[in-house]
């Protein structure tokens, strides 16, 4: 989850240019991501349930799956007692697990594409690559 970017809409429009998210995208994927995925990705940040599922799924990546059921229990209490007016369905472990598996696959492919992009720019085109890439992430 990106917890540092303020996601705000003003009069139904993104306050921040969605294009900024594409800066670190491999150049050969930019058009596809912009055309088919960027709006879905941005929309997720405005769905409290999906934001919570995304945050919970990060505990798989952090190698802490044992605490997820306890967190889900607390989250569901919060949804029922604190934000019941939004009528958000309870979250299940299976949902979080499925979300993580899908997210994991997307990020593995995306990081490999970024490495290919870096190779093309630095080795073939002899240009600078403007981004740091993380080491292999244990997922």
Q: How far is CA 80 from CA 10, 74, 116, 138, in A?
A: 29, 10, 46, 34
DSSP-derived secondary structure for 88-109: PPPP-HHHHHHHHHHHHHHHHH
* Run of H or E residues at 80: helix 68-81
Domain ranges of the chain: 28-124
Check pLDDT > 80 for residue 66.
yes
What would the mean pLDDT of 52-60 be, rounded to a whole number? 97
Check pLDDT > 80 for residue 39.
yes
pLDDT digits 0-9 by tens, 71-126: 999 999 999 999 999 999 999 999 999 999 998 998 889 999 999 999 999 999 99
> For tokens 């993380």, what's the residue?
134
6 falls in which pLDDT band (50, 70, 90)? low
Q: In this predicted structure, what is the pLDDT of residue 95?
A: 98
């Amino acid at each position: 989850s990106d917890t540092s970017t303020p996601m705000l809409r003003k009069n139904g429009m993104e306050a921040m240019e969605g294009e900024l998210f594409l800066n670190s995208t491999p150049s050969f994927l930019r058009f596809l991501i912009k055309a088919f995925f960027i709006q879905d990705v941005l929309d997720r940040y405005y769905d409290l349930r999906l934001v919570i599922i995304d945050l919970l799924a990060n505990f798989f990546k952090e190698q802490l799956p044992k605490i997820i059921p306890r967190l889900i229990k607390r989250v569901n209490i919060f949804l029922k007692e604190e934000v019941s007016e939004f009528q958000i369905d309870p979250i299940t472990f299976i949902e979080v697990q499925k979300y993580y598996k899908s997210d994991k696959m997307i990020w593995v492919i995306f990081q490999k594409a970024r490495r290919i992009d870096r190779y093309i720019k630095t080795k073939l085109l002899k240009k600078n690559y403007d981004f740091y890439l993380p080491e292999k992430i244990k997922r």
